[in-house]
Amino acid sequence: MTVNVLMPALSPTMEQGKLSKWLKNEGDAVKAGDVIAEIETDKATMEVEAVDEGVLARILVPGGTENVAVNTPIAVIAEEGEEVADTADHAPADRVGEEDKAQKQAEAAPPVPGQTAPQDEPGEANKAATKAAVEAATPAPKATSVAAQPSPRVAPEVPEGTTMVSMTMREALRDAMAEEMRRDPNVFVMGEEVAEYQGAYKITQGLLQEFGAKRVVDTPITEYGFAGVAVGAAFAGLRPILEFMTFNFSMQAIDHIVNSAAKTLYMSGGQINCPIVFRGPNGAAARVAAQHSQDYSAWYSQVPGLIVISPSNASDAKGLLKAAIRNDNPVVFLENEILYGKTSEVPALEDFVLPIGKARIARPGKDVTLVSFSIGMTYALQAAEQLAKEGIDAEVIDLRTLRPMDTATIIKSVKKTGRCVAIEEGWPQCGVSAEIAMRVQQEAFDYLDAPVLRVTGKDTPMPYAANLEKLALPSVADVITAAKAVLYRS
């Protein structure tokens, strides 16, 4: 019986990858656990292992092929002696005692960071041992709740005629850090797996090679401690970029973020500032359940003394991260794992820095104002496209910075449309959208033709089951429903 080896998927954001090379040739005997090929994605390099014993009868996708879709058959393994059509001559299988599969898998698994206990979920016909533990933590390639993001409009700050390059948010963030590290020797990166591992989500890829271990510092898994160390270094004049593997773990460090970083300038009467960036993925990824899916936008944007930024696309991510690194205040920079792999246009400017605290009108319109940020923009923009088909012209505002919030841009828009829907993935109570609704009713009450509505994550912990997770998150349909409700249309 022949078995197809499929292109493996190891993260929710991986839809395709490069089949870098084959380590076995057609006709080679393979046994379970043998590494037969190497695969690359933008995040990780992975080894594909054979799960069945037999002969690598056919290679269907040659080494070096780019953009191989997940679940594409890439090879065929046949039983010894079995005929496979068009199979080249193959040597007799070299029968060796079968290795204990579980043992092999255990060996292949990399050391696991404390809070993430990744479990590889192998496909039917192959198993891949990934070099990226966190990648493996997030199985299920099927798009869960979010489809591809429509291309966002370029920031208004970019001069007309600027050459644009396509890049992922992941690359944009890395480039922003690298550029700022070249510019200022006081800038350094610290966090779990930022150096040798190249970043748990590959955001710091290549930084160790360029800047060395002094400036790209792997930490132990001790968020409270290393946040305090980074804050102390910032007090003393360095400019740390502190990566949280995810913001879920920042709860261990929140004392230093709030009590030490945010308040010391005030408590010292303006003497001791804290130029630090706390960054990392925030909010729900896919299928990682309650403890790894929390959105901290509302938490941090409540704190005076912090700046909070949460970009939705590669261009804003780059321009705002550079601004954050140069800022003399503590900045909480909330990224999103699902957006890391999304590609958008980034201006090819030598020094592209965006202003903090300025929202962006991502889509001009006149009928209803949709306000969102980060991955919420995905729902907002898609909803706007669909509403347009029904003759509703939505204006979509991307906040980009949550604190200080660009209230003026929201109010100006609401004064024009008279209707507002705020969208976020976070919980409803005391959420960012609650704040938006408050500001709109306070500053544009007389212009409102309907109460402000919110589309938020549901008021529950994040469930694991795919269907429940989908229900827990906002959807494009939710946004459309809310937009129609404020327009009194059904």
Partner 1 sequence: MVEESGVASASAPMIPPFTREQELTAFREMLLIRRFEEKAGQLYGMGVIGGFCHLYIGQEAVVVGVKMAARDGDQFTTSYRDHGHMLASGMEPRRVMAELAGKRGGYSKGKGGSMHMFSREANFYGGHGIVGAPAPIGAGVAFANAYRGDGRVSLTFFGEGAANQGQVYEAFNMASLWKLPVVFIVENNRYAMGTEISRASAQIDLSKRGAAFGIPGKQIDGMDVRIVKATADEAIEWCRAGKGPYLIEAQTYRYRGHSMSDPAKYRSKEEVQKMREEHDPIEQVRARLIADGMSEDELKKIDANARKIVAEAADFATADKEPDPSELWTDVLAS
List residues near partner 1 by CB under 8 A: 188, 214, 217, 219-220, 222, 224-238, 255-256, 259-260, 263-273, 275, 304-305, 307, 328-329
CB of 166 to partner 1, least distance (A): 35
| CA of residue 17 relative to chain centroid, distance | 17
CB of 267 to partner 1, least distance (A): 4
Q: What is the distance between the alpha carbons of residues 61 and 131, in angstroms, rounded to a whole number?
A: 22
**Residue 43 DSSP class:** S
Which CB atom, from 18 or from 263, has the smaller least distance to partner 1?
263
Which CB atom, from 97 or from 304, has the smaller least distance to partner 1?
304
CB of 224 to partner 1, least distance (A): 5
Q: What is the distance between the alpha carbons of residues 403 and 305, in angstroms, rounded to a whole number?
A: 10
**Peptide bond just before 159 cis, omega within 30 deg:** no
Token look-up 């005629």 returns: 161
CB of 117 to partner 1, least distance (A): 21
Amino acid at 314: A
Token look-up 């990744």 returns: 118
Q: Residues with Cβ < 8 Å from 131, sequence gap 6 or more?
A: 44, 45, 46, 47, 110
CB of 228 to partner 1, least distance (A): 3
> Which pair of structure tokens corresponds to residue 350?
């030598």
Q: Do the beta carbons of residue 216 and residue 195 sit within 8 Å?
A: yes
User: Active-site positions?
Assistant: 223, 292
- Mapping DSSP to helix (H, G, I), strand (E, B) and coil, where does residue 384 land? helix
Q: What is the distance between the alpha carbons of residues 404 and 201, in angstroms, rounded to a whole number?
A: 28
| CA of residue 101 relative to chain centroid, distance | 32
Q: What is the distance between the alpha carbons of residues 364 and 413, in angstroms, rounded to a whole number?
A: 9
Q: Do the beta carbons of residue 173 and residue 203 sit within 8 Å?
A: yes
**Residue 149 DSSP class:** P
CB of 262 to partner 1, least distance (A): 9
Q: What is the distance between the alpha carbons of residues 173 and 152, in angstroms, rounded to a whole number?
A: 17
Q: Strand locations in 291-440, DSSP E?
A: 307-309, 331-335, 343-347, 360-363, 368-372, 394-398, 401-403, 420-423
Which CB atom, from 12 or from 228, has the smaller least distance to partner 1?
228
**Residue 141 DSSP class:** -
CB of 231 to partner 1, least distance (A): 6
> Which pair of structure tokens corresponds to residue 91?
């040597």
Strand partners, 345: 166
CB of 182 to partner 1, least distance (A): 17
Q: Residues with Cβ < 8 Å from 422, sequence gap 6 or more?
A: 370, 371, 372, 432, 433, 436, 437, 452, 453, 454, 455
Q: Residues with Cβ < 8 Å from 267, sequence gap 6 or more?
A: none
Q: What is the distance between the alpha carbons of residues 48 and 28, in angstroms, rounded to a whole number?
A: 15
CB of 359 to partner 1, least distance (A): 18
Helices assigned H by DSSP within 374-487: 376-389, 407-417, 432-444, 466-472, 476-486
H/E stretch holding 254 reads: helix 254-255
Q: Which residue, among 137, 88, 141, has the nearest Cα to 112 in the 3D structure? A: 137
